[in-house]
């Protein structure tokens, strides 16, 4: 499989690795791609290729949240005000330190999802840190992340779905095939270790209705989507 070779020569990544759309429609920004669900007013997935250059880039964190200019009816930054939820990044700002474009785009509201503060600033932040470590160690990884979207945990601003949980998938092409790891975490604070949240990609697909590597041959997908392996990923 040579598809990951393409990722190294463009700002974002090859369309070959984009997940399928289940509830949303695709919006392509310079450094990440979104499947945006109009009914939930947020992304069902955000996908991007995370490089060491982006992790270690010079760009300072932005402070201004903005409506996504590619949406006809974008969520406004004020929609989360006094709701008790953070405007939680799906593609985190610390992953987009390459330049001012990558940083500005990751503050679009289409990249935000309602997150409990103790989750956003706690266990979710720890997972984001770990993914950045892996990106440096493995000289780049593909990341796809998003919320589990249903109405069972309520809404804010009348129409923005509050996710009950979030997932994150990390993928790396190697000389021996592919390495992948997936997580599902409840939208709540936690003191558990990150390993406690590891699941199979097949399980994430069963909950979301999304095919995360739809364009790959089924035989290739089966090799890493059905298993739960942690040994290929450094934890300390």
For 16, left (φ over 0), alpha (ψ -120 to 50), or beta? alpha
Give the C-alpha separation, 154 to 184, whole Å. 19
29 is catalytic: no
**CB within 8 Å of 106: residues ≥ 6 apart:** 31, 32, 62, 89, 91, 92, 93, 95, 96
Give the C-alpha separation, 138 to 46, whole Å. 21
Give the C-alpha separation, 39 to 220, whole Å. 33
Residue in 22, 29, 89, 176 annotated catalytic: 89
**CB within 8 Å of 88: residues ≥ 6 apart:** 112, 113, 114, 115, 119, 120, 124
Burial, 78: exposed, middle or buried (Cβ in 10 Å; 0-12, 13-18, 19+)?
A: exposed
**Phi and psi torsions of 54, nearest 5°:** -75, -40
- Catalytic positions are 89
């Amino acid at each position: 499989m040579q598809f990951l070779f393409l990722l190294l020569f463009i700002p974002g990544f090859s369309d070959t690795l984009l997940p399928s759309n289940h509830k949303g429609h695709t919006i392509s920004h310079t450094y990440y791609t979104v499947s945006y669900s109009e009914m939930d007013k947020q992304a069902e997935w955000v996908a991007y290729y995370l490089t060491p250059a982006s992790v270690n880039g010079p760009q300072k964190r932005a402070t201004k949240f903005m409506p996504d200019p590619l949406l006809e009816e974008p969520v406004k930054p004020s929609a989360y005000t006094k709701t008790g939820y953070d405007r939680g990044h799906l593609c985190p700002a610390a992953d987009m330190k390459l330049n001012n474009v990558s940083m500005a785009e990751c503050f679009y509201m289409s990249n935000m999802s309602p997150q409990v503060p103790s989750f956003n600033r706690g266990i979710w932040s720890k997972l984001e840190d770990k993914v950045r470590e892996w990106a440096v160690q493995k000289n780049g990884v593909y990341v796809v992340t998003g919320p589990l979207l249903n109405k069972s945990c309520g809404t804010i601003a009348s129409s923005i779905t509050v996710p009950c949980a979030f997932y994150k998938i990390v993928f790396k092409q190697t000389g021996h095939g592919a390495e992948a790891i997936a997580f599902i975490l409840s939208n709540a604070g936690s003191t558990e270790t990150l390993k406690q949240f590891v699941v199979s990609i097949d399980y994430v697909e069963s909950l979301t209705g999304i095919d995360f590597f739809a364009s790959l041959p089924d035989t290739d997908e089966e090799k890493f989507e059905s298993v739960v392996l942690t040994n290929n990923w450094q934890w300390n």
